[in-house]
A = this chain, B = another copy of it.
Amino acid sequence: MAENSILYWGSGSPPCWRIMIALQEKKLHSMPQKLLSFDKQEHKLPEVLAINPRGQLPSFKHEGNVVNESLAACMYLESQFKSQGNPLIPDAPAEQALVYQRMFEVLTLHQKMADFAFYNWRVPEPERHETALARNKSALTTEFTLWEGYLGKMGPRSYIAGKNFTMADVVLFPQLALCVRFGLSQKRYPCLLDYYNRVKERPSIQTTWPPHWRETPPTMDPLKDV
A contacts, CB < 8 Å to B: 53-54, 62-69, 71-73, 75-76, 79-80, 91, 93-94, 96-98, 100-101, 103-105, 107-108, 123-124, 126-127, 129, 131-132, 146, 149
CA distance A123 to B115 in the complex (A): 13
CA distance A108 to B68 in the complex (A): 13
CA distance A101 to B73 in the complex (A): 8
Number of copies of this kind of chain in the complex: 2
Known: A93-B80, A94-B64. A101 touches B69 (CB 8 A): yes
CA distance A196 to B189 in the complex (A): 46
For A129, list chain B residues within 8 Å (CB).
126-127
Q: B53, B72, B146: which contacts A104 (Cβ < 8 A)?
A: B72
Interchain CB contact under 8 A, B68 and A101? yes
For A54, list chain B residues within 8 Å (CB).
108, 146
Closest residue of chain B to A52, judged by CB?
A: B101
Could you list 29 A-B pairs, sorted by A, with CB under 8 Å? Answer: A54-B108, A54-B146, A64-B94, A65-B94, A65-B96, A65-B97, A66-B98, A66-B101, A67-B97, A67-B101, A68-B101, A69-B100, A69-B101, A69-B104, A69-B105, A71-B104, A72-B97, A75-B75, A75-B100, A76-B93, A76-B100, A79-B91, A79-B96, A107-B107, A123-B132, A126-B129, A127-B129, A127-B131, A127-B132
For A67, list chain B residues within 8 Å (CB).
97, 100-101
Q: Secondary structure of the A side of the interface?
A: helix
For A94, list chain B residues within 8 Å (CB).
64-65
Shortest Cβ distance from residue A96 to the other chain B in the assembled complex, whole angstroms: 6
Shortest Cβ distance from residue A166 to the other chain B in the assembled complex, whole angstroms: 13
CA distance A4 to B149 in the complex (A): 24
Shortest Cβ distance from residue A83 to the other chain B in the assembled complex, whole angstroms: 14
For A127, list chain B residues within 8 Å (CB).
129, 131-132
For A66, list chain B residues within 8 Å (CB).
97-98, 101
For A93, list chain B residues within 8 Å (CB).
62-63, 65, 76, 80
